[in-house]
C-alpha cells in the first residue's frame, strides 16, 4: 500500500531565483527560504520518497483540471510572465504516468472530470519547476504536476485532493505532496514595482490574516482554518483560489487532520504576496 510520507506548503516565487543571481539587489535575501526547500528535499530522500505530486497554482487552466502524466519532464524554462526573473532554468525530471492516470481515474469516479496527459510538448510551469529545482534537482524522485482551474470551487479541489490520496494508497509509492503557492496573493501594481516591492506586503490586512493562519496551523486548530478557508481565499486574493492548499488538506484528511505544522522559514513578502514554507507532519 502506498502512503504520503511528506506534505508541505511551499513558495515558488521568482525572488527565490533572484536571491541567487549575481548582481541582484536581492542577493542572499531568500537564503532561509531556499535552505528550507532543500531541507524538505533531504527529508524526502531520508523517507524514501519515490514521487512528488505538486499542486501547482502557477499552472492555471481555463478548462478544468489537468495532470501532467508525461514519462519524462525535460526542458529549459524561461518565464513568460517574468522573463527578466527566471531565464533558461533547466530541468530534467522523471514522471509517473501510472500515478497521474490513477489520480484522474479516482477523481472521475468521484464525479469530477480530470484529464491526465501524455504529451511530450506539455512542459512544466514554474510552480513545479522552482520547488523541484531545490528539493529534487537531481531527479532522484519522479514528479506529477496538477493544474488549478481559474474557475473552480472548494468542493471540486477537495475531490482532487481526496482522489490524490486514494491514488497514492493504491500505488505502492512513497509520495511527497506539495502545495505550491502563496498564502495571500495581492501583488503590487506596476507603478509600485521598484526594488522595495520584493520585500514588502501589498496589504496589511492580508499580512495579519496570513500570520493568524500560521498561528492556527501551529496550534493544530485545523477545523477553524478549514472553516475560514473559503473566505480567506477570496478576501486575501488567494493564488489560484488557494486550490493547492485545499487539495493538500483534502489529501491529509481535511478537518480531521491533526498533525504538527512545522514552519521552516520566516514568513516573507514577495512582490506584495505572503510566502512561507511549512511541513505538515504525517504519521509513519
Q: Per residue in 107-116, pLDDT tens?
A: 999 999 999 9
CATH number of the structural domain spanning residue 38: 3.40.830.10
Q: pLDDT (tens digit, 9 = 90+) per residue, 24-54?
A: 666 766 889 999 999 999 999 999 999 999 9
- Cβ distance 244 to 148 under 8 Å? yes
Q: How many domains does the chain have?
A: 1
Contact (Cβ atoms closer than 8 angstroms) between residue 68 and residue 144: yes
Q: Indicate the pTM of the whole model.
A: 0.96
Range of the domain at 190: 3-280
Question: How far is residue 54's CA from residue 164's CA, in Å, rounded to a whole number?
Answer: 11
| Backbone dihedral angles phi then psi of residue 44, each to the nearest 5 degrees | -60, -45
Could you read off the pLDDT of 243-277 as tens digits, one per residue?
Answer: 999 999 999 999 999 999 999 999 999 989 999 99
What nine digits make up the cell of 141?
524522485
Amino acid at each position: 500500500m502506498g502512503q504520503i510520507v511528506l506534505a508541505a506548503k511551499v513558495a515558488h516565487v521568482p525572488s527565490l531565483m533572484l536571491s541567487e543571481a549575481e548582481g541582484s539587489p536581492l542577493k542572499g535575501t531568500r537564503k532561509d527560504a531556499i535552505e528550507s526547500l532543500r531541507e524538505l528535499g533531504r527529508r524526502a530522500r531520508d523517507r524514501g520518497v519515490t514521487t512528488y505530486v505538486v499542486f501547482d497554482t502557477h499552472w492555471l487552466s481555463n478548462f478544468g483540471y489537468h495532470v501532467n502524466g508525461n514519462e519524462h519532464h525535460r526542458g529549459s524554462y524561461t518565464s513568460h510572465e517574468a522573463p527578466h526573473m527566471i531565464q533558461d532554468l533547466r530541468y530534467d525530471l522523471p514522471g509517473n504516468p501510472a500515478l497521474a492516470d490513477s489520480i484522474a481515474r479516482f477523481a472521475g469516479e468521484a464525479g469530477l472530470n480530470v484529464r491526465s496527459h501524455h504529451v511530450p510538448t506539455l512542459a512544466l510551469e514554474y510552480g513545479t519547476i522552482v520547488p523541484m529545482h531545490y528539493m529534487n534537482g537531481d531527479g532522484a524522485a519522479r514528479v506529477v504536476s496538477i493544474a488549478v482551474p481559474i474557475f473552480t470551487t472548494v468542493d471540486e479541489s477537495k475531490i482532487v485532493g481526496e482522489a490524490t490520496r486514494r491514488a497514492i494508497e493504491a500505488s505502492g509509492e512513497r509520495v511527497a505532496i506539495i502545495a505550491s503557492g502563496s498564502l495571500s496573493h495581492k501583488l503590487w501594481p506596476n507603478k509600485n514595482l521598484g526594488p522595495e516591492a520584493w520585500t514588502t506586503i501589498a496589504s496589511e490586512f492580508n499580512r495579519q490574516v496570513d500570520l493568524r493562519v500560521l498561528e492556527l496551523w501551529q496550534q493544530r486548530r485545523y477545523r477553524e482554518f478549514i472553516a475560514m478557508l473559503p473566505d480567506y481565499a477570496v478576501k486575501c486574493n488567494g493564488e489560484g483560489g488557494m486550490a493547492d492548499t485545499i487539495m493538500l488538506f483534502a489529501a491529509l484528511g481535511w478537518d480531521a487532520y491533526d498533525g504538527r505544522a512545522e514552519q521552516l522559514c520566516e514568513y516573507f513578502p514577495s512582490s506584495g504576496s505572503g510566502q512561507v514554507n511549512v511541513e505538515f507532519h504525517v504519521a509513519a
